[in-house]
Structure 1
Amino acid sequence: MKSLVLFIIFITNSLLVSAQIFDVDTLLFSGNSEKRINLVVLSEGYQPDELGEFITHATSFKNSMFSQSPFLEYINYFNVFAIKIPSNESGADHPATATDVNESEITPTFVDTYFNATFDAFGYHRYIYYGIDYTDAASTEVKINSVLADNFPTYDQALILVNTTEYGGTGGKFPIASISSYDIAIHELGHSLFNLKDEYFLPDIYYAEAINMTQETNTSLIKWKNWIGTNGVDINPYGSSGVSATWYKPRHLQCKMELLNKPFCAVCKEGIIEKIHDLISPIDSYTPENITINTPSFPLDFQLNLIKTIPNSLESIWILNANNIDNNVDNISIEETDLKTGTNTLTAVINDATTSLRVDNHETLHVYTVTWSINYSTLGIETIVSDVNSFNMSVFPNPTNDVINFTLENTLDTPLKLEIISMDGKTIQSYNVTNSENLQIDMNTWSQGIYLAKVYANNDLIANKRIVKN
């Protein structure tokens, strides 16, 4: 999850700006920062005697964020910290230079703040940014990187909270928002951390293919095909004419990416959960790790410590020597009679079965495993060696009437096998797949209907996925 390259960039930037150490408060601690998404809130426009108010505001933002789905369910996957950075003056600049509204009656104001927060950025009245444009913001971005490098280099996302009750915010690498509504900050995080697009009418240059934005109108091909017809999801145009009429969103006026104080729509919620799975494995720890046993005793106990959702939607399958021995438990015990002479393989397969992901028709499937190799002889257990692996399986397009693509990735480069099974249980085709290989399968000669794709790692079935031939 943590990038060495980013860390090196932070260190380089810190050499350009004198190191400054600030107080860091913990607002939410769910566990080891190497195994959580670390959200860091930076103060802007708070004078030294106002930093207590900043912590109050940052805490209120945190409480608001984790009272809403899907963050409510996935709170255990996050840590939240606040860095108290004092400014010489309060608030943010308002130069009254916006071109989207008439600001002739507004008196320009300028204040001395640490990150140079300003309204009217890029000519838009409600855009608050750490510079009036990208050129102006470049030096501030160096300061932001330096503050993070010196105070919390293992962050995953930083958010700048500005001490003003005037409405404003922007996304980008470092989202920034006023305290007029904490939903602004949550909305901007939707852009920066989760790659969601705005769902309101936009200038032409901002339209692009994304999780919740597309030009596709075919209901069998559109990104959110798995949600159409439920929870109000459809194919809704952004506008009635011009470029906006050629772009589409899942819902109209019913998603936080369009209107504050609305929940995230089902499509955006699914995208957020997918990103969480991209960043974090649900396996927090496990026992035993690699050990040599001098005086083995039975039963042997194996345990998973999972980062559980609320309510828990994680499912687990325990497989010993290719045989399923238990499901949906965090620990099991192995007796001596369960083992064969030689190497035994015990695998725990974990996936998130939340109904907020429609896996059957969804492009990507995330699976996580812990595998123990148990060396057993007539003298007893000699060693137990363990490995953790993460698997991503992408299948597209699905449904299809000609060619379907499979990409299978795993962190340990484990050889994988893919089997295509018909609904009557017959094996149609079998493939040995290398890591990150894009496997194209020609389905032209197949009969229409539903097939099951089964993925095996070390002879253990780790994933099933339905595919459809039109």
Structure 2
Amino acid sequence: MFRRIAAALTVATIPVSLLVAPAQADEPTADEPPAATVVPVQVTGDPAKRFNLVILGDGYTTGDMATFRQNVDRHLNVLWSIEPYKSYRSYFNVYRVEIPSKDSGVSCDPGPSSPKRDTPLSMSFWSGCRSDGVQRLLLMDNAAADKYAALVPGVVPANRQILALANSTMYGGAGGTFATASGGNALSALISPHELGHSLGGLQDEYDYYRRGVPGGPYSGEEPDSVHHTLLTEPQMLQQRKKWWRWLGERSEAGGRIGRHEGGMYFSQGIWRPSQHSIMKSLGYYYDQVGREVMTQAISRKTSLIQDATPAGTIGADRVLWVETLHPVSHPLRVSWTVDGRFAGDGHDLELRRLRLRPGRHTVSVRVDDPTDFIRDPDIRASFAQTRSWTVDTSIRTSPDTATPAFTTTTPTDQPVGADSVIYAETTHPATRAPRITWRINGRPVHADRDLELSDLPSGTHLVTATVGSTTKTWTVDAVAPTVTVETAQPPAKDQLTLRLNPADDRPGNVVAEFRVDGDGWYNYYGWPTDSNSPFLFTKEGTNIDGLIYGKLAAGRHTIEYRAVDAAGNHAEPRRVTVTLD
């Protein structure tokens, strides 16, 4: 969309403990709208130690609030289907702020002369209802957004991202300090990750135009600061080890090959981007590896790999050292211990008595890092690693404590987890003994530390339990892939093709359907840009909608693959259909 440059006002927050029930604003006066309600959608930990996504609604009356909830559900399920959000969704707390509006809808929708509506965030299209503005540039009152976001207890601007959804079916959004998106447009759920690419990751638009239908012209500036735009050739990137040189030649997650594709930053010539299309250029595709790497770094910067640890200082050799970490959904972090520089073990606890240290003083350190393949630069990946160190004095004896083994934080148990997820559990920390978690899958014991990696489960529903002390936690594992059926239709001339995908699942939640053509990048199936209930249309020239071409497909034989992703993150195996366009 657009990267909006706007100053955001800081905000005082309410420093209370982890939110466990909806919170409401103060009672309104006669001239004020009804009180807003904060609803926790996903809470994975203390908001002071998580990255918090606060979703505000604007232009939703009390009668529209069910629509707002549906829009949020769809936006989130699409977001969680896209990497790196899929792998790191456990780093997020998500809160929905329901703000009843006096009027339904937002201002200047669909035109700059359309009514201006009385809404809490004053959202408006056309760059704020300007006759010379850009239709899809959706602005709002940042101060009002700050005020409502401040209702979420324990969340501060430094670890918060605001996403505001407008009650509108018109395409639009904006990025910047905050992100905005249409709530009900067919493409709206894809606007959110695009705008978060701006607001959270600092990514630039890869559009080769500023106003649709008008080529952006040649770029005449110096080498841009943007990590995903360049003037360099591929040999120059490799020789100078700059920009996306580490990814060159690989198949792009957004389709095609990572190389040098002309156009970006609103210019059509003289500047190049990594992939033919990615979500920063064409809504529907994934981030390519370059954008995904930036977003992984951005999410990681908002949190701390080490969430808590044994207090620093000098301790006895009969003590248990411990560390609590974050827990990605897709893989465990790497935790390694050293004593005087030598490897001493891995895992979240280190029982010093088992090491039988020689008399004297020793230095014990722990290092936590993320072995993700999403960050290719080893120096950047290493920069996110965190360490803690302690001095161990074998002459010190640790006093007994009264701490008993129990769970502290775990993977939420109120929603099913996917068949390939990581389930985690953290415990209390008695001083001289490490609690042992007994994990079971369908009653069968399995070995794991604080992270249980699920894999190779047969299709069906499974139960995972974790027991420590006298407490047991239970998770339902959804190992049933979603289904998706396909409907294609062509006129007798076979000069066009309609594609309709019908995803479904055995559990509640929005199901995301995707397709790709001839092995290109997976593309989100949203229906048709102007109507989510209409099928996607392919023609040889494509269809021009507001200056963008959709569904252009050359004459000939094509293979269309399709699949679905359910709310738990399970992918259906791709199926395919072969079509011919004459």
**Shorter-normalised TM range:** 0.5 to 0.7
Q: Which residue of 1 aligns with 2:580?
A: none
- Output one character per residue of 1:180-219: Cα deviation in whole Å (capped at 9) or x when no partner: 1211111111110111111121346999522322333322
Give the residue type in structure 2 aligned to 1:318. Answer: W
User: Does 2:285 match 1:262?
Assistant: yes
Q: Which residue of 2 aligns with 1:317?
A: 336
Q: Which of 176, 182, 201 is 1:178 aligned to? A: 182
C-alpha contact (below 8 Å) 1:27/1:62 kept by paired residues: no
Task: Compare 265-274 and 361-370 and name the one that shifted more.
Answer: 361-370
Distance 1:228 1:375, change over 3 A: same
Q: Which of 233, 246, 260 is 1:235 aligned to? A: 260
Give the residue type in structure 2 aligned to 1:210. Answer: S
Q: Which of 108, 128, 131 is 2:138 aligned to? A: 128
Distance 1:334 1:361, change over 3 A: closer
C-alpha contact (below 8 Å) 1:199/1:249 kept by paired residues: yes
**Secondary structure in 1 matching 2:169:** coil
Q: Which of 119, 125, 133 is 1:119 aligned to? A: 125
C-alpha contact (below 8 Å) 1:209/1:215 kept by paired residues: no
User: Does 2:300 match 1:277?
Assistant: yes
Normalising by structure 2, report the TM-score. 0.55
The CA deviation at 1:151 is 4.2
Distance 1:150 1:28, change over 3 A: closer
User: Does 2:163 match 1:159?
Assistant: yes
**Secondary structure in 1 matching 2:247:** coil
C-alpha contact (below 8 Å) 1:94/1:119 kept by paired residues: yes
The CA deviation at 1:268 is 0.6
Identity rate of aligned residues, in percent? 25
**Secondary structure in 2 matching 1:81:** strand
- Output one character per residue of 1:109-165: Cα deviation in whole Å (capped at 9) or x when no partner: 3322221211111611222212xxxxxxxxx22222222234455251101011111
Q: CA RMSD, aligned part only?
A: 3.4
- Output one character per residue of 1:356-377: Cα deviation in whole Å (capped at 9) or x when no partner: 1113476873211122222322
Give the residue type in structure 2 aligned to 1:345. Answer: T
Distance 1:252 1:361, change over 3 A: farther
Q: Which residue of 2 aligns with 1:365?
A: 383
The CA deviation at 1:301 is 2.5
Distance 1:11 1:309, change over 3 A: closer
C-alpha contact (below 8 Å) 1:195/1:211 kept by paired residues: no
Normalising by structure 1, report the TM-score. 0.67
The CA deviation at 1:170 is 1.0
Aligned residue pairs, count: 350
- Output one character per residue of 1:17-38: Cα deviation in whole Å (capped at 9) or x when no partner: 9999621001111111111100
User: C-alpha separation between the residues in 2 aligned to 1:194 and 1:168?
Assistant: 19
Give the residue type in structure 2 aligned to 1:169. Answer: G
The CA deviation at 1:52 is 3.0
Q: Which residue of 1 aligns with 2:564?
A: none
The CA deviation at 1:347 is 0.9
User: Does 2:351 match 1:350?
Assistant: no
User: C-alpha separation between the residues in 2 aligned to 1:346 and 1:363?
Assistant: 23
C-alpha contact (below 8 Å) 1:120/1:127 kept by paired residues: yes
Distance 1:320 1:69, change over 3 A: same
Gaps of 5+ in 2: 1-6, 14-24, 211-215, 252-256, 401-582
**Secondary structure in 2 matching 1:248:** strand
C-alpha contact (below 8 Å) 1:359/1:365 kept by paired residues: no
**Secondary structure in 1 matching 2:63:** helix
C-alpha contact (below 8 Å) 1:169/1:177 kept by paired residues: yes
C-alpha contact (below 8 Å) 2:51/2:93 kept by paired residues: yes
User: Does 2:235 match 1:212?
Assistant: no
Gaps of 5+ in 1: 1-5, 99-106, 131-139, 384-470
Distance 1:376 1:24, change over 3 A: same
User: C-alpha separation between the residues in 2 aligned to 1:223 and 1:292?
Assistant: 45
User: C-alpha separation between the residues in 1 aligned to 2:9 and 2:120?
Assistant: 23
Task: Compare 185-194 and 49-58 and name the one that shifted more.
Answer: 49-58
User: C-alpha separation between the residues in 2 aligned to 1:317 and 1:363?
Assistant: 16
User: C-alpha separation between the residues in 1 aligned to 2:359 and 2:8?
Assistant: 47
**Secondary structure in 1 matching 2:386:** strand
User: Which structure shows the higher helix fraction?
Assistant: 1
User: Does 2:246 match 1:226?
Assistant: yes
C-alpha contact (below 8 Å) 1:304/1:330 kept by paired residues: yes
**Secondary structure in 2 matching 1:147:** helix
C-alpha contact (below 8 Å) 1:27/1:59 kept by paired residues: no
Q: Which residue of 2 aligns with 1:289?
A: 311
